[in-house]
Structure 1
Amino acid sequence: MKRTFYLLFIYMLAASPLIATAQLLGAKKGYSRADTLRGMWGPLRSCYDINTYHLDVKIDIDKKFISGSNEFSFTALSDFSTLQFDLFRNMTIEKVVYLGQEIHFHRELDAVYLSFPNEIKKGSKASFRVFYSGNPSIARRPPWDGGFIFSKDRSGNPWVSVACQGFGASSWWPTKDHQSDEVDSMTVSISIPNGLDEVSNGRFVSKKKLDDNYTQYNWRISNPINNYSVSFYIGKYAHWTDTYQGEKGPLTLDFWALREDSTEARPHWDADVKPMLKSFESWFGPYPFYTDGYKLVQAPHLGMEHQSAVAYGNKFKKGYLGSDLSGSGWGMKFDFITVHESGHEWFGNNITSKDIADMWVHEGFTCYSEALFTESLYGKDAASAYVQGIRMNISNDIPIIGPYNVNKEGSGDMYYKGANLIHTIRQLMANDDQFRAILRGLNKDFYHQTVTTQQIESYIAKKSGLKLDKVFDQYLRDTRIPLLEYKIKDGKLTYRWTNVIEGFDMPLLANLKGNKTFSLIHPETTWKTTALTAGIDSKSFMVNPNFYIKTKVQQ
């Protein structure tokens, strides 16, 4: 989700709909060595491909302390004797074991360099196990910043989870903490005090009573997963199941709500989950993780797109905590967190950006999924009203695409402006069947892959047959909104683009003939003129409001 929310504090005080990126919390003007170590895809990371992890962690809730291990199994992509993995510096590494022997490592900030006693040859497979412990970072204002959440339900029972997108999965477990390399599959073993329930990603395998009044829960993830999606939920849960008949057959649905909230949760979740899955499979293609199933889990924070175990904390309200982020009224027709966070199963989890600078690929498409869900239920006009309404949340502060190789996102506009970019391209295509085919094609052709924005941009341009390079540059890499200046005189429209990048040449639908019919015009940065139907003047002239632009009449 990472719509983590500096301005949400203001929103909650003043009922403002604005949401901003969490990077505004303690935003940096420069970048440190730690930023580079975390964000750079260097040779000590690219030399190996992660195949599987086995994360085995015991959580002492009273002491807010964790201990355990993670086993890395990998394939060498080149010859090497040293590799990098990551673990926050406040966590202790007791030892690293390779072939039954402890081996040398040294640490630099949050990076760990592991030295092997022999050279690892390209193509070979190997494994090592990291034993570690410590008090993990605690989120101060979850989900506004990342870390563990030690909370209690209304009955006073422990309620514990973690959310770490952007902050770092390596804040609580040793991992190759870069989105470029997703582990192919994973086992998660979480040991917790007896009497509580634990939920993680993937399929439940088993639970085992331990000797120290703890119970170990074991889960198996069969699909590639990004690091920040790996999570757990601890509490007193009620659990029920259902089945959705989807495009690839029966999809298991698992619901986990606090026992004290389960009566309220059932009808509330039922109202959205199956309609949402039907809509998204229609627009995006089959749910990407049939083998792991779909879970919705009540969490002690607002929400997060934890793969196959979506975190939910919207208090069983319609809209976003009971408010409509679009101001259109349509945002109150569904539970925002259920729909938005589930949309990330396609964009964010199935398709993942290699660098978080390109996170618009996650958030722009998923924000637009809210409009597509609205369209599926209430029609195209409702969807257009929704996507136009969310423009009020756009700040145009910095570009959507952030700086590369320093673990830095771009503007929080990646949500609303990203969605409006997609909506604008849809208008240029003027072919909804083709548009749907592109969305489905993205999820098929980049299935379970990590990508760059350039791959996504090129794919859309190629499949649509449109020249979109300047459109993407304008909306993703610049903060200005195109301004159409125009004047009407003697039955003629004279018009041009201003406030745009060099060479910006996006066509536009404008009302040239009256009766609210739109015709294509091709503005440039120099003045152009075209004829108008009699009776159209500067007051009645309009452009298609589905284009995210501004207009200004010249007198």
Structure 2
Amino acid sequence: MRFFTLFIFFAFITISPIKGQVLSHKKTYTEADTLRGSLRPERNFDVLKYHLNVKVDPAEKYISGSNTITFKAEEDLPVMQIDLFANMAVDSILYRGQKLNYTRRYNAVFIDMDPSVRDQKIDSLQFYYSGYPVIARNAPWDGGFVFTQDKEGNPWIGIAVQGTGASLWYPNKDHQSDEPEEVLIEAAVPNDLMNVSNGRFLAKKDLGNGYTQWNWKVNSPINNYNVMLNIGNYVHFSDKYQDLDLDYYVLPYNLEKAKEQFAEVKDMMACFYEKLGPYPFEEDGFKLIETPYLGMEHQSAVAYGNGYKMGYRGTDLSGTGIGLKWDFIIIHESGHEWYGNSLTAADIADMWLHEGFTTYSEAVYIECRWGKEEALEYLRGLQQNIMNDIPMIGPYGVNKEGSGDMYPKGANLLNTIRSIYDNDSLWWKTLKDYTQHFRHQTIQTEQTEAFFDAATPIDLKPVFDQYLRHTNIPQLQLKTDGEKLFYRWKADVPDFKMPVDVCIKNKEVRLFPTPEWQQLKEKFKDAGEVKVNDLKFYVDTVHINNLY
């Protein structure tokens, strides 16, 4: 979600310090990073279910409750790691009716399982906790709660914790590789407020103490950071797309704006159903929920805070004007339902699988509505936000993403691969097959590379390697010698090969450069007569002075 592009950086640096939830240029890592980012023996269990029961006190900005964690041991488990931020109190941990001993290191709680849970056994524990959760300074760029008021003075509360960690507000196995298969969320809030969470609404109950408990259930695998509370004086309206329930929760004074703005959801669904496949969480329905921060891809409960404006808060990230034809937050955050929520990176080092594909889904939507040329123009416009500073893939096992380039550069990598295919029917089939093949799975970059590589006889391995694991993009070098023109690739990947389409005297030709000089058959006096089709390929072009 966090759009940490150059555009966003300059747009917000005058407002408040930028603090991406994970995006940073940190180069050294602590034990706390390893405890959070690695799959240690104490994490050798598969989470099956969370049952959250929480109470939120808006006046005190305080939460309390429990999480019943149902799990399956993947080997004998004498000690179990559950994550909860150090500022939150552990009130007690119960296992088979008995309190367990535990120790804490940083944001990890190590529980002495007595007796030890045996390999392959399904069991559960109850984790009771309370405290004053971290409050976000500038959500969603930093993680935490947002305690504010709507225009009518009613409490309005949201949470954004991607990267920072869901353990900021509830105890869980805080690693993207493990998703509970279902979640029950029971949230008590003051009587005059509503809580909207993920999944299907089950019931509400007046607790007789000034609080009402709102119950929601998720029936699909879900990322920890997507499990969410949205508390406010909401009104509800609904619609349908085919068999999919569309539910909207907004502030009362924005109801008419929302009915008009959210009509775009049906256009989006029609496009994504065709190009990406059916909505992956039909059993849980689709919701847009107005939030006091910009947005986030909370599964089946997408956070919306774009002010009912077209574009990104009324601006166009591509600089082309095309981005002002649609509501950025609706399309981008909903695109994450396919990429990020359904198909999930097992380690956040591979978060380009979320952000690159979701940014590409923006162009998919543009192509559905306004045609391929505008989609290509939009993608080329996004290149202005690429910094090529650090690789798109981050270091593994330390809870660290790669470069913020994963958004625009990731999308332009996919567009380049589409162009390499040189067959739109094959491209759309492969993209849809990929999206459906990995539905509701956690995956790694290598699986994505293999899937797209298998669909074409052209070797995509060096292409993925160059764009994902190096900062530079391929450089097409051109040189004339008399009337002879020579070309080659310069890249970090040894023996880099990739076809590229160029325009020569108003005619498009496909070249197959290698690191070795090759000569065009046509006669040239000026290398400037050869231009890369930069709507289709994201590469550098350089005219050099000397052959070498």
TM-score by length of 1: 0.94
Please tell me whether the aligned partners of residues 224 and 448 of structure 1 are also in contact (alpha carbons under 8 angstroms): yes
Residue of structure 1 aligned with 2:177, choices 162, 177, 180? 180
- Paired position in structure 2 for 1:311: 303
Please tell me whether the aligned partners of residues 419 and 537 of structure 2 are also in contact (alpha carbons under 8 angstroms): yes
The alignment status of 1:33 with 2:31, answered yes or no, reads: yes
Count, aligned residues? 542
- Paired position in structure 2 for 1:268: 261
Please tell me whether the aligned partners of residues 485 and 527 of structure 2 are also in contact (alpha carbons under 8 angstroms): no
- Paired position in structure 1 for 2:514: 524
- Paired position in structure 2 for 1:243: 240
| Structure 1 residue 12, shift from structure 2 partner | 4.5
Report matched runs for 1:513-552 at 5 Å: 514-515=505-506, 517-532=507-522, 537-545=526-534, 546-552=536-542
- Paired position in structure 2 for 1:43: 41
Residue 218 of structure 1 aligns to a residue in which SS? strand
Residue 348 of structure 1 aligns to a residue in which SS? coil
- Paired position in structure 1 for 2:8: 8
Q: Which amino acid aligns with 1:140?
A: R
- Paired position in structure 1 for 2:77: 80
Give the Cα–Cα distance (whole angstroms) in 2 for the partners of residues 69 and 24 of structure 1: 30
Give the Cα–Cα distance (whole angstroms) in 1 for the partners of residues 275 and 116 of structure 2: 48
| Structure 1 residue 433, shift from structure 2 partner | 1.4
Give the Cα–Cα distance (whole angstroms) in 1 for the partners of residues 187 and 485 of structure 2: 67
Report matched runs for 1:32-71 at 5 Å: 32-45=30-43, 47-71=44-68
| 1:216-263 Cα deviation digits (max 9, x unpaired) | 000000000000011111111111010001xxxx10000111111111
Residue of structure 2 aligned with 1:169, choices 162, 166, 171? 166
| Structure 1 residue 28, shift from structure 2 partner | 2.9
Distance 1:477 1:206, change over 3 A: same
Distance 1:180 1:302, change over 3 A: same
Give the Cα–Cα distance (whole angstroms) in 2 for the partners of residues 407 and 354 of structure 1: 11
Residue of structure 1 aligned with 2:247, choices 239, 244, 254? 254
Q: Which amino acid aligns with 1:268?
A: Q
Please tell me whether the aligned partners of residues 237 and 247 of structure 2 are also in contact (alpha carbons under 8 angstroms): yes
**Unaligned 5+ runs, structure 2:** none
| 1:484-543 Cα deviation digits (max 9, x unpaired) | 11124565431111243322111111224x33x3222111222111212x6784333211
Please tell me whether the aligned partners of residues 21 and 412 of structure 1 are also in contact (alpha carbons under 8 angstroms): no
Give the Cα–Cα distance (whole angstroms) in 2 for the partners of residues 7 and 433 of structure 1: 34
Give the Cα–Cα distance (whole angstroms) in 2 for the partners of residues 539 and 342 of structure 1: 42
Give the Cα–Cα distance (whole angstroms) in 2 for the partners of residues 7 and 22 of structure 1: 18
| Structure 1 residue 201, shift from structure 2 partner | 0.3
| Structure 1 residue 20, shift from structure 2 partner | 9.7
Residue 464 of structure 1 aligns to a residue in which SS? coil
Report matched runs for 1:347-426 at 5 Å: 347-426=339-418
Distance 1:322 1:206, change over 3 A: same
Distance 1:176 1:12, change over 3 A: closer
Give the Cα–Cα distance (whole angstroms) in 2 for the partners of residues 359 and 301 of structure 1: 22
Higher mean C-alpha displacement, 164-173 vs 463-472: 463-472
The alignment status of 1:498 with 2:496, answered yes or no, reads: no
Please tell me whether the aligned partners of residues 5 and 22 of structure 1 are also in contact (alpha carbons under 8 angstroms): no
The alignment status of 1:434 with 2:423, answered yes or no, reads: no
Give the Cα–Cα distance (whole angstroms) in 2 for the partners of residues 7 and 284 of structure 1: 28
| Structure 1 residue 378, shift from structure 2 partner | 0.6
- Paired position in structure 2 for 1:320: 312
Distance 1:20 1:551, change over 3 A: farther
Give the Cα–Cα distance (whole angstroms) in 2 for the partners of residues 435 and 259 of structure 1: 44
Give the Cα–Cα distance (whole angstroms) in 1 for the partners of residues 32 and 345 of structure 2: 21
Give the Cα–Cα distance (whole angstroms) in 1 for the partners of residues 192 and 304 of structure 2: 22
| 1:62-113 Cα deviation digits (max 9, x unpaired) | 0000000000011122122211110001000111111111112211111111
Give the Cα–Cα distance (whole angstroms) in 2 for the partners of residues 552 and 8 of structure 1: 29
Give the Cα–Cα distance (whole angstroms) in 1 for the partners of residues 524 and 391 of structure 2: 41
Distance 1:101 1:5, change over 3 A: farther
Distance 1:531 1:22, change over 3 A: farther
Q: Which amino acid aligns with 1:260?
A: Y
Give the Cα–Cα distance (whole angstroms) in 2 for the partners of residues 536 and 255 of structure 1: 62
Residue 523 of structure 1 aligns to a residue in which SS? coil
- Paired position in structure 2 for 1:135: 132
Give the Cα–Cα distance (whole angstroms) in 1 for the partners of residues 56 and 249 of structure 2: 20
**Unaligned 5+ runs, structure 1:** none
Distance 1:169 1:5, change over 3 A: farther
Distance 1:68 1:37, change over 3 A: same
TM-score by length of 2: 0.96
Give the Cα–Cα distance (whole angstroms) in 1 for the partners of residues 194 and 9 of structure 2: 32
| Structure 1 residue 155, shift from structure 2 partner | 1.2
Q: Give the share of equivalent positions with the same residue, in percent.
A: 47
Give the Cα–Cα distance (whole angstroms) in 1 for the partners of residues 458 and 342 of structure 2: 26
| Root mean square deviation of aligned Cα | 1.8
Give the Cα–Cα distance (whole angstroms) in 2 for the partners of residues 154 and 536 of structure 1: 67
Give the Cα–Cα distance (whole angstroms) in 1 for the partners of residues 394 and 103 of structure 2: 31
Give the Cα–Cα distance (whole angstroms) in 1 for the partners of residues 353 and 441 of structure 2: 12
Report matched runs for 1:289-304 at 5 Å: 289-304=281-296
Give the Cα–Cα distance (whole angstroms) in 1 for the partners of residues 483 and 102 of structure 2: 77
Give the Cα–Cα distance (whole angstroms) in 2 for the partners of residues 325 and 102 of structure 1: 53
Please tell me whether the aligned partners of residues 423 and 547 of structure 1 are also in contact (alpha carbons under 8 angstroms): yes
